[in-house]
Structure 1
């Protein structure tokens, strides 16, 4: 993670020097070098492992590199050569198998990368701006916070890579009163942006191995 952040810090500094915006376009995990302490490698990785790693990339692109646009490479394709969901969001399965003719019908499957991307793209919309969040961030737990243009909604996105749930102990500074309602949207190995409601006064719980979007309506 340190190497990932170092590269993005230098990119942000260069962008500021030349006064340009940075876009991240056509990202996927087709490159080499992902087998490290931060990723178990493709042979051992589940599709959710790949999606969680993607969340780490998105988080650092947004918060360290300061990108104003983030795009995935391929929306849908046939998963060949053991690539799992490393280069697609929706897996197409021809009726004759992966080597069959996609024009002869088949099935499709939304992969965890689609749902994790949705934890960001569905809720952090154009015009939202990042606001300060003090967090005990680590290699396995990180997040960011965003304010709507009207100032009536705060969106936070947390990634919990650990095998234990996290209970948030929150203090809100500078908010216009307490949230009128709190919604959560959780993606795990068996949840696909599953919606939940947090009762006023109760803590927000983040599942193990999850990406969770928390919406505070002010």
Structure 2
């Protein structure tokens, strides 16, 4: 009996001790994992920056092969891919146009022939039919297409080397050259009816190459030539119809050098044009003149950086280009670039990284670069005239840029996930009255794919952004 009593007492003591241990244990701080809150992306429509001019690429000599060496079916498919604003097409809105410099004896192919390649300048406007054909095809797919014109060189008879490939424009020919480019603008705008909106004096004036058309200018030379071209455009009554840009320097740093060394005629420059080949200089974006980034590509003659058989590698180039575009559009507040142009739209059997679409002229086939789709993520939703608005991302791996339509206040957003991991974020700042936004995606497995619309609730939605991807949203 006593034994049972002792056992009962012991049991009660054990239970009490266990209760004390459990209660004490639960009072201790325990590091239980808690799911992290999603990252955020915020749009602020009330804070605005520059208006968007557009996105595009160059025509130049390679479009001749598209016109003459590809089937009508493939021509149509390629042109749709570049210019239509639907499906998985890129919806480009700008074409960069070369003012051809050669005379026939200098270019036996007869493709890049100047309308005025000889001293007496007997005009021949039958030249350049390939670029006009390409422009007409672009216009048939986007009637508001904008054109940017630039010479790679003056005609050889105006230069100190008497050749298109290298050398300087002779001072005695400044007026001749100014009249030459002004007449081209007058003809193409007035008689042919193309919306040549911008004119640059020279492609890459800091660079000479004996293999293709180039011309070298020192700062003082460029300052004088800009003044002469301004006068020629004015005398023809077309100065107000075209924006005169600074020379298209190879980099931001060189562009700054030209701008800072125009003591007389910098004020005549309407736009700053520049290329993006190294030597970045963010101080360029302190310049208040509007800007266009007019050429960039991943050219590497040794490594051939575009490899359409390696989707991971090709996708990284798409991400890298999207980051380049983002930098141009967002650096400098309202002084940021208003547009971005790739190098060739079409290339023929060239270094594959130079063009958006590569033509195999011997086989009549073609291949798309994923870089084209990354450009489309911007061009499809950020149309000419849309205004950039303030955006903020809590995660530095999610790069963001957004615009709005002023008349409706509807917003468009591009998100670049630069990381190797998926990231979930809550996006806010769309109109509370809108219920949906369209979604486009480019990734290793998607080529500007139309995804299911996102549902907006109070102007917000939550999205998981796939690793190494570009997304575009457009408020409906």
**TM-score clears 0.5:** yes
Could you say which structure has the larger radius of gyration?
A: 2
TM-score (norm 1): 0.75
How far residue 125 of structure 1 moved from its aligned partner, in angstroms, is 0.8
Per-residue CA distance 1:151-208 (angstroms, 9 max, x = gap): 3421100111222222221332xx5424221111000122111112123455223221
Q: Retained in 2: the 8 A contact 1:188–1:211? A: yes
CA–CA distance in structure 2, aligned partners of residues 47 and 191 of structure 1: 12
**Structure 1 portions without partners, runs of 5+:** 33-40, 96-104
What is residue 132 of structure 1 aligned with on the other side? Answer: 390
TM-score (norm 2): 0.36
How far residue 31 of structure 1 moved from its aligned partner, in angstroms, is 7.2
- Over 3 Å counting, the alpha-carbon distance change for 1:79 and 1:143 in structure 2 is farther
Query: Are 1:177 and 2:432 matched, yes or no?
Result: yes
What is residue 361 of structure 2 aligned with on the other side? Answer: 94
What is residue 417 of structure 2 aligned with on the other side? Answer: 160
What is residue 11 of structure 1 aligned with on the other side? Answer: 284
RMSD: 2.7
CA–CA distance in structure 2, aligned partners of residues 137 and 74 of structure 1: 34
CA–CA distance in structure 2, aligned partners of residues 59 and 107 of structure 1: 32
Corresponding pairs, count: 187
In proportion to residue count, which structure has more helix? 2
Per-residue CA distance 1:83-141 (angstroms, 9 max, x = gap): 44x2110121233xxxxxxxxx5101221011100000121011111111121252x32
CA–CA distance in structure 2, aligned partners of residues 113 and 87 of structure 1: 10
CA–CA distance in structure 1, aligned partners of residues 300 and 331 of structure 2: 21
What is residue 189 of structure 1 aligned with on the other side? Answer: 444
In proportion to residue count, which structure has more strand? 1
What is residue 338 of structure 2 aligned with on the other side? Answer: 68
Report SS of the residue matched to 1:53.
Answer: helix
Report SS of the residue matched to 1:169.
Answer: strand
Report SS of the residue matched to 1:75.
Answer: strand
Q: Retained in 1: the 8 A contact 2:318–2:370? A: yes
**Structure 2 portions without partners, runs of 5+:** 1-275
CA–CA distance in structure 2, aligned partners of residues 79 and 151 of structure 1: 45
How far residue 24 of structure 1 moved from its aligned partner, in angstroms, is 0.7
CA–CA distance in structure 2, aligned partners of residues 46 and 78 of structure 1: 22
